Amino acid sequence: MEATGQSEGFEKTFALNHLNYFLLTNLLLDTLKASAPARIVNVSSDSHKGAQLDFDDLQSEKPGLAYGRSKLANVVFSYELARRLSGTGMTVNILHPGWVRTGFANDLGVVPSAVIGFFMRFVGLTPEQGAQTSVYLATSPDVEM
């Protein structure tokens, strides 16, 4: 798995972008339920729109596929968690923060990093702007249960 590597036996992109959310949320779930009202806010990406979950190949070695699949897994997980937590005083939301200048593409190689970096200088949001939706979902009375 040279393209994206493995971590703990899992493809790194999928482990970082989805399995971490899943594990942390489940480890905290009893505490969150006891603390209701509580909120869970997950960050995904519009990249999920072109992805498909292939349960026979979640360990995809293709970086583009792994990223989209991981973000689709976030969306599916969030919708299912919201369904399961309905009526508990907890909210579950998922968002796409937009194109944010985070250095996301720095490890893609010289040419892709330069092209994406150039593009992001003109259309990318600052990290502060990119965080606004997350902060809103975590704190606004408009999305309380």
Please write down the HEC assignment for all residues of 61-99.
Answer: CCHHHHHHHHHHHHHHHHHHHHHHCCCCCEEEEEECCCC
What distances in angstroms separate CA 32 from CA 41, 82, 88, 89, 136, one per listed residue?
12, 13, 10, 10, 19
For residue range 51-108, what is the model confidence (pLDDT) as tens digits? 777 777 766 666 567 888 888 999 999 999 999 999 999 999 999 887 776 766 666 6
**Is 67 marked active-site?**
yes
| Position 119, amino acid | F
Spans of all domains in the chain: 6-143
DSSP string covering 102-137 = S-TTTTS-HHHHHHHHHHHHHHPBPHHHHHHHHHHH
Tokens at 99, concatenated: 């194109």
Residue 85: partners with Cβ closer than 8 Å, 6 or more residues away: 33, 92
Could you tell me which CATH number the domain at 6-143 has?
A: 3.40.50.720
For residue range 108-141, what is the model confidence (pLDDT) as tens digits? 667 766 676 667 677 777 888 888 899 999 999 9
Residue 102: partners with Cβ closer than 8 Å, 6 or more residues away: 127, 130
User: Does the predicted model carry a pTM greater than 0.95?
Assistant: no
| CA 45-106-96 angle, 5° bins | 10
Q: Which residue out of 21, 67, 79, 136 is catalytically annotated?
A: 67
